[in-house]
Chain A
């Protein structure tokens, strides 16, 4: 097997991976990215999730302070669940605006006022959370990151899927990568590794038929990082909390314009904001109350309102994803005349490797950032990947040699390539479809103990009988087989954690709805579920998170410096 050596290895070249490697390159020249797709089009930004704004813009004239931002967040639907770590948000509030200035320097186009200043806006409190941000030309986001990576000569090994972590005890020493076009394996030896593989979205069936790659997030996001970390014994957390978002019809894309109404034409979000519920939780309940479907109604809007990005009250932001306008154009629909159905759907899980303020995980030398961890926001991805890149580089500079375990490398190679050596067996597509069908039926947005136990039974049968018999005719299918293996791990983690958490968390976009435990329970307050693989078996336990209050400036100063 070919061996490539580097100081810092970043897995994934999306928003987080790009930022982590850019930051790491300021400390060491030996930074390498491996990416399953290609730099130009990878990650959520690459596929055209062109966010129309960057937020929060804190500590700018007229905008909220860090404390105000965190307090607003904790009061809002997203933050009152009792499982938050408020310092994460404080760090974002402190460190995000300077990153926006970096991005602008690298080529991001930010909308300006007439006097040439950023068109910053802020709404002190809009019910769901504190809003403050700048409107940006989302299409320039990926481009500015790509050009900065190129300017810094950071090498990206494209079409290379990370398959497994290489470890020595509780220390990471590299990653095995598989070229998805040739099937060739490479051992990437590294002193530190930053996992930025994005969300674990390929876990539910969103539309019928074998359309597995159609989701809100990037189709490549099969939870590779989570599965690799789990298999290597890294502590995982918050895997029970689902990320959901609403789709426009069955078309990939998120926000739309106008009022959000139920099938009776009633607006229902204002009430839910008062109750500090999230929009997605409210939509979910509205459907359960048999008031679905839910629509965005833009018929009453004036041209001015359509153009104005942040008109709150009843008007939502617009996110100019490519797919919705294209779909509407091809079908001859007009958003000003036709209602757009908003379908709440599972899009993955909030959790991932449990991480520290420097992005470090429970494994030495291993860092994680972006949708890999529980950030679920572009600002969180940028801030914590920048910290993780810095910490990983500093760690690499002080780390001694890290020899690989040859036996481990051989074992991984054998397991990874085994589907290529079988002439008959199950196809990866069949396995993926079945896992996702099980998740959709037994572990969807509403859950019960009985259904989850049955789901776990079915998935473990797949692990026992189907996974060892996967068959791939070419490297492309081998990639799909390895992805199916990862999806299996992620599905198991989710169902086990969801069964373990015996309460309901009505928490913004990241809820956990147990019909048999329909309310939040005091014994679960501030408790997170931790999953860890030990001696081949999954172990679950609780861990208390920090106090649910805004941190003080002194507390922030204590964690401000990024240590390895």
Chain B
């Protein structure tokens, strides 16, 4: 896993959905929350983690990148 969203903390502000350059975080209209739909396409830029105002996203470096 790369970008992980903590839904307890997520306020649904859409910021991560707006900033992800590879557009891997899609918006789930039904639940009103973001979903990391293409985790394989994460390039570890940490922009979502940096931009999230609720500190709800953590980007973990997968072992393949060690």
- Residues of chain A touching chain B, judged by Cβ–Cβ distance below 8 Å, are 37-38, 40-42, 46-48, 159, 180-181, 207-215, 218-220, 249-252, 322-323, 326-327, 330-331, 476, 479
Chain A residues whose CB sits within 8 angstroms of the CB of B47 once the complex forms: 40-41, 46-48
B21 to chain A, nearest CB (A): 4
Given A252-B44, A326-B59, the answer on whether A46 and B21 have CB atoms closer than 8 Å is: yes
Given A250-B65, A327-B66, the answer on whether A37 and B44 have CB atoms closer than 8 Å is: no
Chain A residues whose CB sits within 8 angstroms of the CB of B50 once the complex forms: 322
| B43, A219: Cβ atoms closer than 8 Å | yes
Which residues of B46-66 have CB atoms within 8 Å of chain A's CB atoms?
A: 46-47, 50-51, 59-62, 64-66
Chain A residues whose CB sits within 8 angstroms of the CB of B51 once the complex forms: 40
- Is B40 in contact with chain A by the CB < 8 A criterion? yes
* 8 Å CB contact of A207 from B37, B41, B64: B64
Most chain A CB inside 10 Å of its own CB: which residue of B18, B23, B37, B44: B44
* 8 Å CB contact of A211 from B37, B40, B60: B40
**Cα distance, A327 to B20, chains bound together (Å):** 20
| B66, A214: Cβ atoms closer than 8 Å | no
| A181, B43: Cβ atoms closer than 8 Å | no
* 8 Å CB contact of B64 from A40, A48, A209: A209
**Cα distance, A207 to B61, chains bound together (Å):** 13
Given A249-B65, A250-B65, A330-B61, the answer on whether A42 and B43 have CB atoms closer than 8 Å is: no
- Residues of chain B touching chain A, judged by Cβ–Cβ distance below 8 Å, are 18-23, 26, 37-38, 40-47, 50-51, 59-62, 64-66
* 8 Å CB contact of A252 from B22, B40, B43: B43
* 8 Å CB contact of B61 from A181, A327, A476: A327
Chain B residues whose CB sits within 8 angstroms of the CB of A220 once the complex forms: 21-22
Chain B residues whose CB sits within 8 angstroms of the CB of A207 once the complex forms: 64-65
Q: A208-B64, A215-B43, A476-B26 are in contact. List 11 more A-B contacts (CB 8 A).
A: A37-B21, A41-B21, A42-B21, A159-B23, A211-B62, A214-B43, A249-B65, A250-B64, A250-B66, A251-B65, A476-B37
Q: List 15 A-B contacts (CB under 8 A).
A: A37-B23, A41-B19, A41-B20, A48-B45, A181-B23, A207-B64, A207-B65, A208-B64, A219-B22, A219-B41, A219-B45, A250-B65, A323-B44, A323-B46, A326-B59
| B64, A251: Cβ atoms closer than 8 Å | no
A-B pairs, top 10 by smallest CB distance, nearest first, are A219-B43, A37-B21, A213-B43, A47-B45, A41-B21, A327-B61, A250-B65, A322-B46, A41-B47, A41-B19
| B21, A219: Cβ atoms closer than 8 Å | yes
Chain B residues whose CB sits within 8 angstroms of the CB of A219 once the complex forms: 21-22, 41, 43, 45
| B45, A40: Cβ atoms closer than 8 Å | no
Chain B residues whose CB sits within 8 angstroms of the CB of A180 once the complex forms: 23
**Cα distance, A291 to B62, chains bound together (Å):** 28
**Cα distance, A180 to B23, chains bound together (Å):** 9
**Cα distance, A331 to B37, chains bound together (Å):** 26
| A38, B65: Cβ atoms closer than 8 Å | no
**Cα distance, A37 to B19, chains bound together (Å):** 8
Chain A residues whose CB sits within 8 angstroms of the CB of B43 once the complex forms: 47, 213-215, 218-219, 252
Chain B residues whose CB sits within 8 angstroms of the CB of A322 once the complex forms: 45-46, 50
Instruction: Closest B residue to A476 by CB, please name it.
Output: B23
Instruction: Closest A residue to B47 by CB, please name it.
Output: A41
Instruction: Closest A residue to B18 by CB, please name it.
Output: A38
Instruction: Closest B residue to A217 by CB, please name it.
Output: B43
Chain B residues whose CB sits within 8 angstroms of the CB of A215 once the complex forms: 43
**Cα distance, A48 to B21, chains bound together (Å):** 12
Instruction: Closest B residue to A480 by CB, please name it.
Output: B41
**Cα distance, A42 to B22, chains bound together (Å):** 9
Most chain A CB inside 10 Å of its own CB: which residue of B19, B61, B66: B61
A483 to chain B, nearest CB (A): 11
**Cα distance, A476 to B17, chains bound together (Å):** 14
Chain B residues whose CB sits within 8 angstroms of the CB of A211 once the complex forms: 40, 62, 64-65
B47 to chain A, nearest CB (A): 5
Most chain B CB inside 10 Å of its own CB: which residue of A46, A180, A214: A214
| B46, A48: Cβ atoms closer than 8 Å | yes
| B41, A212: Cβ atoms closer than 8 Å | yes
Chain A residues whose CB sits within 8 angstroms of the CB of B20 once the complex forms: 41
**Cα distance, A249 to B43, chains bound together (Å):** 15
**Cα distance, A29 to B45, chains bound together (Å):** 34
A50 to chain B, nearest CB (A): 11
**Cα distance, A38 to B19, chains bound together (Å):** 6
Chain B residues whose CB sits within 8 angstroms of the CB of A330 once the complex forms: 60-61
